[in-house]
Amino acid sequence: MILALLAVVQIGSKAFTESVIVAEMAAQLARSAGVETVHRRELGGSRILWEALLRREIDSYPEYTGTLAQELLPGRGDLRERVAAKGVVMSRSLGFSDSYAIGMQRRTAERLGIRTLEDLARHPEVRLGFSNEFMDRKDGWPALRAAYRLPQRNVRGLEHDVAVRALAGGAIDATDLYTTDAEIAAYDLVALEDVRRFFPDYEAVLLWRNDLPADAAAALRRLEGRISAREMIEMNARVKLRREPEAVVAADFLASALGVRGAARIEGRARRIAARTVEHLELVALSLAAAMIVAVPLGIAAARRPRAGQLLLGVVGLVQTIPSLALLVFMIPLLGIGARPAIAALFLYSLLPIVRNTAAGLSGIPPEIRDSAEALGLPRLARLRLIELPIASPSILAGIQTAAVIDVGTATLGALIGAGGYGQPILTGIRLADLGLILEGAVPAAVLALLAQALFELLGRAVVPRGLRL
């Protein structure tokens, strides 16, 4: 079994449509060559995918030469050699370039007389909203603002597809585009001329580790030089505008361009929900079980030593103030991508309600009850097990119930780092503006939260002594 798992090639994709399509092509090509392959979809941005490749958590993913040269491996010398020094192989160009551009609605650009990026400097009133990754990239907004001396300061960060829809709807005046975005033509947008050639060339390539099996590497190389910009724009349009599955679009291209047929894997909705439910339950159950094992003893310690307990509650409370997305990102350097960092983050978020309620439940026991138990000559551990914990059990279970509901909701963010769960269809639905996919994740997550609450209500009837249930 272990050898079989090691033999599976894992191809990752970024959280945008084009990357998903190209990665799906690569996965289908590898399968057609007899290589067992898994496509790990929408794992995040460039940095997350690159680090996952170096840590051997994935074997291959689509990238762009401009991103490698400016963001991931800045420096002098041949780019291919710099990539090879990391133990990674870079394919030749897949045949198209997908460069950055700053886009506006055509009618807005014409009304303001804006044709180039230099023209933006004369219009500080222009409302800018950029994709979150572009806001922080070395070849993104900070460097662009400096290069063109742009006066705009109040710039909003958005998810890329949301930003493009906001531009089309008039909520913002300009955003970053990819030159192969299908929305440029569909929404009548115009890309401002980069007269200073700030943006480098972004040729699409595939990256893979240099120890990838030869038959898999040969299959991936079949994509070199085969995809034109026009074909990529059309494939993006089929997915984003006509709502066709990426797997089908990729399979159609492979059949027409390379004669590869029958490699697409399309899951039905019921099967997708079942698979996501298993993943989500795994995240919640493991993190909650670990939190219970750690938090209840910590709550007991906090109740026994009030001064130290205040410090302990302050520490676990501080963790609760860290934004969940930030905490997930913090975990990546320690635990990589996938379920492990998500479980670790959920574990930390579960501590506060359990520790606090355990400490409160034990501290609230009337002194006369403690004195009576001590007068009976019961050892300290026996008093805790037979008297104190049963009396505090309603409060402890309430804390665990709160942690469980928090976990169910927060676990949806685990999809951002490849943990799966109900967050996966939600992310895809946001990317494609598909309400059905969003509900495919949101509704089961809400149902699971209600079921978790009901489960702990039933558990309380079984665990809490009858006289304390009121």
The per-residue pLDDT for range 344-396, each reduced to its tens digit, is: 999 999 999 999 999 999 888 888 777 776 777 777 788 777 788 888 888 99
Same domain, 64 and 130: no
The pLDDT of residue 387 is 82
d(CA 295, CA 306): 16
**Listed residues 258, 282, 304: the one ending a domain:** 258
**Number of domains making up the chain:** 3
The pLDDT of residue 1 is 34
What pairs with residue 88 in β-bridges? 209
Report the CATH number at residue 439. Answer: 1.10.3720.10
CB 397 within 8 A of CB 414: no
Same domain, 276 and 207: no
Q: Is residue 264 part of a domain?
A: no
Coil, strand or helix at 76: coil
User: The domain containing residue 106 runs over which residues?
Assistant: 100-191
Residue count of the chain, please give it.
470
The pLDDT of residue 4 is 39
The pLDDT of residue 262 is 66
The per-residue pLDDT for range 218-248, each reduced to its tens digit, is: 999 999 999 999 999 999 999 999 989 999 9
Mean pLDDT, the chain, whole residue set? 89
**Listed residues 158, 191, 224: the one ending a domain:** 191
Structure tokens at 135: 């806001």
Same domain, 356 and 412: yes
Range with the poorest average pLDDT among 368-382, 392-406, 445-459: 368-382
Same domain, 324 and 463: yes
**Listed residues 134, 166, 191: the one ending a domain:** 191
Q: Could you please report the per-residue DSSP string of 204-259?
A: EEEEEETTS-HHHHHHHHTTTT---HHHHHHHHHHHHTT---HHHHHHHHHHHHH-
Same domain, 375 and 249: no
Report the CATH number at residue 156. Answer: 3.40.190.120
The pLDDT of residue 2 is 35
Report the CATH number at residue 8. Answer: 3.40.190.10
Same domain, 90 and 106: no
What's the pTM value of the predicted model, to 2 decimals? 0.81
Percent with pLDDT over 70 in the chain: 96
d(CA 323, CA 182): 33
Same domain, 390 and 322: yes
The per-residue pLDDT for range 121-164, each reduced to its tens digit, is: 999 999 999 998 899 888 889 999 999 999 998 898 888 888 99
Same domain, 278 and 412: yes
d(CA 262, CA 151): 53
The pLDDT of residue 393 is 85
